[in-house]
Amino acid sequence: MEESGREKIELKSENEISVPEKKENFWVETIRFVALAILIVFPIRYFIAQPFIVSGSSMDPTFIDGEYLIVDQVSYRFEEPRRGDVIIFKYPLDPRKYYIKRVIGLPGETLTMKGEKLTITKTDGKKIDWPEPYVKNTIPQNFTSTLTDSEYFVMGDNRPASSDSRIWGPLDRKFIIGRPAVRLLPVTKLGVFPGEAHVAN
């Protein structure tokens, strides 16, 4: 009986010793998991794709307030923005803020707006009247803007409600972050590369 009692005590001691080891393994595995998540998620978040929530009505009806987008931050490392692209960029007057607008003028071009008619003079001297089927609300304006080799002219689709290149000037290439790759919310408008509008020119 005594041996049996000792055996039980020894087993109990072994159990008590093994518990801290399990706890230690749990924390080690947790730390490893967190470290792995950081190594995988952070590079994707900051260099490949990141979430963006539309705020305001400057891009109505193409993008409305509260829509949830995933921004492609890779494409423009290998190619330049095209006319008609919707882009995400840092606001030049306050880089802590992010804006969403549409590319209208490309580097080296001259844009002339008379009333509601937009004429673009390309770098080869050719003039084009740029149709804008995505614009539902407009406002008559008169202006001319000539871009440098690193500047883009951007405007919101909802012209009366947009703060864009008409107000604060051309956008330098260095401020461009990427373009909407996926619209996740609302689910009814789920789509890939939403808002694109390229017209032959």
**pTM of the entire predicted model:** 0.73
**Catalytic residue chosen out of the listed positions 13, 58, 97, 162:** 58
Reported confidence tier of residue 191, pLDDT bands at 50, 70, 90:
confident
**Catalytic residue chosen out of the listed positions 55, 57, 75, 101:** 101
CB-based contacts of 89, cutoff 8 Å, min separation 6: 98, 99, 101, 154, 171, 175, 176, 177
Q: What is the mean pLDDT of residues 1-14?
A: 44
Reported confidence tier of residue 15, pLDDT bands at 50, 70, 90:
very low
Active site residue 101: yes
Q: Is the CA virtual torsion 89, 192, 59, 121 positive or negative?
A: positive
pLDDT in tens, 31-63: 665 555 555 544 545 545 577 888 889 999 998
pLDDT in tens, 133-190: 888 888 889 999 999 999 999 999 999 999 999 999 999 999 999 999 888 888 788 7
